[in-house]
Amino acid sequence: MRVEHLQQRLERGSLAVRETRYRRSGKYVSISLDDDTVLVLRLFWSCDWPLAALTGMAQDGRIGWVVSARTNSGRPIVLHAWLATLNESSSTPE
C-alpha cells in the first residue's frame, strides 16, 4: 500500500490509532491504524506522545512528510518525518 493512499484517505476524515510504538529515543515511530495498516515514520525530532488519531498528511518537498495527529488527551500535534512507509499490519518491521 502506498503512503499517498493514506494521504487521500485522511482528506476524507481522521483515522483512529490502535497503538503507537516509539523506538530509538523517539526518532522512529510505528503507528498501528484502525484500517489494519501500520504507518512507520522516521522523525526529524524525537517525541513520545500517545496518539489517538491521524487527522492529516501532506508531502513537503523540502523536508518529506508532515503528519497531523491528535493525542490521547485531545491535543493537536504535528510530526515531521523525512521518511514514511505504509505496511499491512502483518508485515510490520521489527
Give per-residue pLDDT as tens, 45-57.
988 899 999 999 9
Is 93 part of a structural domain of the chain?
no
Domain count, the chain: 1
Within 13 A of 48's CA, how many CA atoms are on the CB side? 4
CA distances from 26 to 9, 20, 23, 39 (A): 26, 11, 5, 15
Separation of alpha carbons 81 and 34, rounded Å: 21
pTM: 0.87
Is 67 part of a structural domain of the chain?
yes
Model confidence pLDDT, tens digit, residues 56-81: 999 998 989 999 999 999 999 999 99
Range of 43's domain?
A: 3-88
Q: Does residue 72 contact residue 51 with C-beta atoms inside 8 Å?
A: yes
49: Cα separation from own chain's centroid: 12
